[in-house]
């Protein structure tokens, strides 16, 4: 399966002033597969170590971390030469070994000729613990997310459909109805399958949606196991409670995260650390409230007011217990939770494209699902689960902040009228 992040790795390889690279991302988003594919395509050989399971190598980093000594040991341990310009050295699950993380600084300063790529599933969590020292300014970093809808279509060999979607998005021209409905059908399948590579691969191989839930359940069990492993017993209980509340939070009309839903009497003091754990682990996506639609949006964020989405819409579908036939049905607009799935899907797509998540709400009842900063423009985004697309809030925002245009995401075909760019769900990856 082709991942767009491969281009980022290729750019890193030829980058002037290249430093050791860390690929961050939640468990099971495909970091190891991507890195090994990169090694196979661009190096004579790849030497791989998992620091979570290879305790001998892990312990070796506890002493002297001079590059030459480390390279000699890793060559002996693997039985392979590690040659500058020819070998890719991979240190997987680097959050399991604080000294290996520190060693990246010495490689950056004293042995930059070696190509080193590390992967960290819970690096964000680990770095925020006291015993971790992150080599700031001495590493390059990229973030890997679940496969987006474009990568999903690519896995299904629908490159021609991808090209049609991109060209019609750029021109604001309606897709032929047969292609429009074909793409919408794929979008509905994606709401069930999501973007976790193991689930996508199973779907590609079998064309069946029935096994998706089983694999998604295993992935979520891994997440829960990490909560117990990388947090204290008391904190892990709170993390699980916050995680389990996400579908309930999104089912509310007001999707603002409310601590009292996690636990009666719950507060930010009790659960704030748990929310940050989930965020750093890449398990959830945090969408902050923006109080104004001015540039730059980030400085107008209300840090106490936010929404939480699942990092993968397929995991949300599985965790919520949403019936697959309801999603696939043509009369799904009667189901209220479908709106939450659609919104989560859009949040996931926007984050994959590098946008920080913000939403807007005024003092009354007007609310916008997302607010984007695209170059020097503030663009409001509204998500409508079906074909009814009337929007008072978006028009209010457009007028108040004098935005050049707005984006409406729905099942409707492409178009542009009255300063509103209509984008079908299947084309959000183009935004």
Terminal alpha carbon distance of the chain:
22
Domain ranges of the chain: 6-143, 149-220+269-430
Q: What are the tokens at 131?
A: 């015993």
d(CA 23, CA 333): 39
Strand partners, 287: 307
Q: pLDDT by residue (tens digit) across 350-368? A: 999 999 999 999 877 789 9
Q: CB neighbours of 399 closer than 8 A, spacing ≥ 6? A: none
Residue 390: its pLDDT value, please? 72
d(CA 297, CA 276): 21
- Give a three-class secondary structure readout of 166-200: HHHHHHCCCCCHHHHHHHHHHHHHHHHHCCCHHHH
Q: pLDDT by residue (tens digit) across 63-115? A: 889 999 999 999 999 999 999 999 999 999 999 998 999 999 999 999 999 99
d(CA 25, CA 29): 7
Ranges of residues in the chain with a pLDDT under 50 are none
Please say whether the beta carbons of 368 and 393 come within 8 A.
yes
CATH of domain 6-143: 3.40.50.300
Question: 267-277 in b/e burial notation, b at 16+ Cβ within 10 A?
Answer: eeeebeebbeb
């Amino acid at each position: 399966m082709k991942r767009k992040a491969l281009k980022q790795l290729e750019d890193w390889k030829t980058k002037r002033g290249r430093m050791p690279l860390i690929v961050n991302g939640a468990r099971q988003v495909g970091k190891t597969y991507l890195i090994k594919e990169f090694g196979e395509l661009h190096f004579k050989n790849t030497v791989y170590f998992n620091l979570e399971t290879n305790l001998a190598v892990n312990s070796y980093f506890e002493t002297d971390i001079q590059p030459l000594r480390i390279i000699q040991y890793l060559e002996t341990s693997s039985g392979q030469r590690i040659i500058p310009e020819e070998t890719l050295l991979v240190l997987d699950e680097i959050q399991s070994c604080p000294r290996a993380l520190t060693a990246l600084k010495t490689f950056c300063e004293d042995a930059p000729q070696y190509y080193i790529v590390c992967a960290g599933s819970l690096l964000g969590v680990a770095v925020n613990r006291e015993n971790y020292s992150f080599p700031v300014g001495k590493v390059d970093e990229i973030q890997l997310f679940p496969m987006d809808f474009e990568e999903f279509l690519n896995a299904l060999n629908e490159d021609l459909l991808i090209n049609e979607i991109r060209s019609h998005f750029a021109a604001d021209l309606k897709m032929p109805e047969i292609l429009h409905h074909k793409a919408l059908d794929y979008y509905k399948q994606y709401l069930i399958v999501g973007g976790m590579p193991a689930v996508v691969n199973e779907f590609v191989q079998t064309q069946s949606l029935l096994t998706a839930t089983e694999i998604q359940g295993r992935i979520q069990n891994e997440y829960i196991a990490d909560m117990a492993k990388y947090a204290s017993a008391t904190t892990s209980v709170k993390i699980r409670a916050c995680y389990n509340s996400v579908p309930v939070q999104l089912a509310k009309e007001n999707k603002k995260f409310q601590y009292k839903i996690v636990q009666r009497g719950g507060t930010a003091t009790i659960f704030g650390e748990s929310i940050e754990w989930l965020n750093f682990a890449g398990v959830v996506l945090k969408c902050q409230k923006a109080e104004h639609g001015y540039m730059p949006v980030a400085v107008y964020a209300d840090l106490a007011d936010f929404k939480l989405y699942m990092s993968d819409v397929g995991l949300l579908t599985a965790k919520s217990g949403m019936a697959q036939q309801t999603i696939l049905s043509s009369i799904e607009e009667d189901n209220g939770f479908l709106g939450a799935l659609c919104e989560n899907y859009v949040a996931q797509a926007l984050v994959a494209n590098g946008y920080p998540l913000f939403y807007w709400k005024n003092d009354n009842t007007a609310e916008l699902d997302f607010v984007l900063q695209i170059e020097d423009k503030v663009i409001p985004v509204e998500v409508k689960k079906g074909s009814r697309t009337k929007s008072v809030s978006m028009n209010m925002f457009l007028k108040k902040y004098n935005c050049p245009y707005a984006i409406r995401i729905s099942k409707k075909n492409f178009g542009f009228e009255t300063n509103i760019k209509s984008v079908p769900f299947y084309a959000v990856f183009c935004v």
